[in-house]
Structure 1
Amino acid sequence: MNQSTTRETLASRLGFILLSAGCAIGLGNVWRFPYITGRYGGAAFVLIYVLFLVILGLPVMVMELSIGRASKKNIGLAFQTLTPKKKGWPVYGKFAIVGNYVLMMFYTTISGWLFSYFFHMLKGDFSGRDAQAVSSFFSSMLGNPLGMTFWMLLAVILGFLPVARGLQSGVEKITKYMMIGLLALMLVLAANSLSLKGGAEGLRFYLIPDFSRMAENGLFEAIYAAMGQAFFTLSLGIGSIAIFGSYIGKEHRLTGEAVRIISLDTFVALASGLIIFPAAFAFNIQPDAGPSLIFITLPNIFEQMAGGRFWGSLFFLFMSFAALSTLIAVFENIISFWIDTKGVSRKKATLYNAIAIFLLSLPCLLGFNVLSSFQPFGAGTGVLDLEDFIVSSTLLPLGSLIFTLYCTWKYGWGWNAFLDEANSGEGLKFPHGLRFYFKFILPAIIIGLFTKGYWDIFIK
């Protein structure tokens, strides 16, 4: 029987948008975006960031969705399905699937941390702890491989359970409720932060443009940071967005759908700043970057806040939802590859991959304790840094470059075939007149990002 006639589809347009947004919305929205926004001048940085979302993130997302919808396959098979006589392109499809595995090798561990913190915050284990004790709690968690293994395994199980249930009854239904819950939690948390005495100063810091602050840190660095955040926040380049394109019909043009997905992703990023900055300023705590913001700084803030145990529990529930939405989306991409290429049932593919992801996640987890002597990029780095580099600095930009070239050059799928797919249906059209930009300038920008990522790691 022909695969395309039996392929599962999503039940609703809302399900597609929430699933795709759930894949894009991740931890980078919450702990990286607010920090770099404050560092590079608040609203001034946001304006540059939104510009790059439109000129960089949006077109690549439309291209990835188009490849998925036209092929009705996962990224591992999409290129050879669309252009079977053009060799070479399908090779990247396999690398993209590998990228999904590598992403999950560290994302499951961080998700486990969030589940752990939600449990301990709800239980009241942070009550009465001073700043040093909260910091020690995080350190002791990293030093306990058995405890981290439990929480990582829970993340793997919770991520794969909806996938095992099926596309509509599991992935779509559960993600829909979870994303609605995530958005509701954000609004409640933001309202609470904005009501704190002294929070207005944090709001000014976040939302009023400060070009002098941007100049202090370097205009070029601010532009590069905005470009990088706009690009990486959408999880483009490894087919985790394309898979949901393969599950939808041609009723709506893909540019409009991509605008909706990116708008939802941006809303979450902006709302994260509304939660974090007023709260940090209200208690005179400077927000930091990276894990310390989520696992040390914010628990200290909640500890000082009236009803802090309640608000802290809600915050880590929100963070858990953000992480879990990405796990489910990427797991679905991996499972669809197995179903399409190996011909195995969804439940068998889920079981095999749950075991594989669990085992593959152990090196990252052990990198904080048993394997801490392995420091691939110098002192203070570990397995997580290496895995993150493979995905964020290598496969995401390379994959996006390949999608762009494939959709705009005659040696690939070609501009006309791409436009026909992207503009099928009703809604916002992909701009035909900007072909030169998409064919030459956009690839140059992506190559620049890729080169800068390697320069910063190996030469700077």
Structure 2
Amino acid sequence: FLLKPEWDKGNANVFLSAMGQAFFSLSLGMGCLCTYASYFKKDTNLTKTAFSVSIIDTFVAILAGLIIFPAAFSVGIQPDAGPSLIFITLPNVFQQAFSGVPLLAYIFSVMFYILLAVAALTSTISMHEVVTAYLHEEFYLSRKRAASFVTGGCIFLGILCSLSLGVGKGYTIFGLNLFDLFDFVTAKIMLPLGGLCISIFTGWYLNKKIVWKEISNNGTLKVTFYKLLIFILKFIAPIAITLIFIKELGFLKL
């Protein structure tokens, strides 16, 4: 299913969807990479770091696919089942794997969800830092106070989103419950729009001397693809991101 792709189905929609997923997977367009990069030392090689992040992200995605797809099919659930893959498929897998020892199935299930919670927390911290750093630097709040504001806001919105999957599922906006609405707005609108603005800002507005200094570490590194990078940021990236944006909104059918 994973290693034998059906090339005849590889149309423009597939590639646009894949690029949209790449935005989410690599945290593009949401300020995470910019915020963390601002804490790098001046001699950090941004090109090498970006390349490493892309390679590791791809490796982890393939590894996850090799685990999740067999697990899903083994219990008769389709891989596009959404959140149920985590909350239904994997517990069934643990029960089947340790059918003779129910206690082990329980232990491994608990361990898995603890690790899942840790993974979710680390991802949350990366996005939490973006807003915290903004409040700290722009409004001169202490980091503790800024983090408290962001945490409180996230908890409040998180509770509302959770309730929308239970007692509040009857309340909808544009036909979507609050959880689905937040998912739609962030993944399909804010991410591509943020990436588009960053691309246009860097390619057309930002002083090219600043871009050159950041990429070449103030001229100490040889950057042979600099002109190509600027060309991509100016022309190719905005067009590609716009196509993703329109596709994710459902206005583009290819």
Partner of 1:385 in structure 2? 180
CA contact (8 A) 1:393 1:453 kept: yes
Displacement of 1:228 in angstroms is 1.5
Q: Describe the superposition over 1:240-286 as per-residue Cα deviations: whole angstroms up to 9, x where unpaired.
A: 22111111112122111111122222222111112212334455554
TM-score by length of 2: 0.85
SS of residue matched to 1:343: coil
Match of 1:400 among 171, 195, 201: 195
Q: Is the 8 A contact 1:255 1:428 kept in 2?
A: no
Q: Does 2:82 align with 1:290?
A: yes
**What is the CA-CA distance between 1:428 and the residue it aligns to?**
7.7
Deviation at 1:427, TM superposition (A): 6.3
Other structure's SS at 1:241 match: helix
CA distance in 1, matches of 2:163, 2:75: 35
When structure 1 is superposed on structure 2, of 341-350 and 269-278 the one drifting more is: 341-350
Structure 1 residue 431 and structure 2 residue 225: aligned? yes
Structure 1 residue corresponding to 2:109, chosen from 312, 322, 333: 312
Following superposition of structure 1 onto structure 2, how do residues 284-433 of structure 1 map, counting pairs within 5 Å?
285-306=77-98, 307-378=104-175, 381-409=176-204, 412-424=205-217, 429=223, 431-433=225-227
Relative contact order (C-alpha < 8 Å, sep 6+): which is higher?
A: 1
| C-alpha displacement of 1:396 | 1.1
Deviation at 1:369, TM superposition (A): 2.9
Aligned match of 1:272: 64
Counterpart in 1 of 2:36? 244
Is the Cα contact below 8 Å between 2:212 and 2:226 reproduced in 1?
yes
**Distance in 1 between the 2:169 and 2:135 partners?**
34
| Structure (1 or 2) with the greater helix fraction | 1
What aligned pairs does 1:159-308 form with structure 2 within 5 A after superposition?
205-207=1-3, 209-211=4-6, 214-215=7-8, 217=9, 219-283=11-75, 285-306=77-98, 307-308=104-105
Counterpart Cα distance in 1 of 2:181 and 2:78? 28
Q: Is the 8 A contact 1:372 1:382 kept in 2?
A: yes
The one-letter code matched in structure 2 to 1:455 is G
Cα contact 2:192–2:244 (8 A) shared by 1: yes
Give the conservation status (yes or no) of the 8 Å contact 1:287–1:297: no
Q: Distance in 2 between matches of 1:447 and 1:399?
A: 11
Q: Matches of 1:430 and 1:400 in 2, distance apart? A: 24
RMSD between superposed Cα atoms in Å: 2.6
Q: Deviations over 1:318-351 (max 9, x none)?
A: 3222211111112222222222123222222233
TM normalised by structure 1 equals 0.49
Query: Is this contact kept in 2: 1:237–1:403, CA < 8 A?
Result: yes
Q: Would the aligned equivalents of 1:256 and 1:428 in 2 still touch at CA under 8 Å? A: no
CA distance in 1 between counterparts of 2:74 and 2:211 reads 50
Contact 1:253 1:428 in 2 (8 A): no
Distance 1:220 1:438 in 2: 21
User: 1:135-174 to 2 correspondence within 5 Å?
Assistant: none
Count matched residues: 247
**C-alpha distance 367-286 of structure 1, shift in aligned 2 (>3 A):** closer
Query: Which runs of structure 1 show a deviation greater than 6 angstroms over 4 or more consecutive aligned residues?
Result: 425-428
Label 1:262 to 1:405 Cα distance change in 2 as closer, same or farther (>3 A).
same
CA distance in 1, matches of 2:251, 2:83: 20
Quote the offset at 1:387 in angstroms: 1.0
The 3 A distance-change label for structure 1 pair 265 and 356 is same
Cα 1:285–1:330, aligned 2, differ >3 Å: closer, same or farther? closer
Aligned to 2:101: none
Query: Alpha-carbon deviation of 1:450?
Result: 0.6
Deviation string for 1:330-379 (max 9, x for gaps)?
A: 2222222222123222222233333232223332122123332223343x
Other structure's SS at 2:206 match: coil
Q: Provide Cα deviations, 1:100-153, integer angstroms capped at 9, x if missing partner.
A: xxxxxxxxxxxxxxxxxxxxxxxxxxxxxxxxxxxxxxxxxxxxxxxxxxxxxx
Aligned to 1:369, the other structure's residue is in SS state: coil
The residue type paired with residue 390 of structure 1 is V
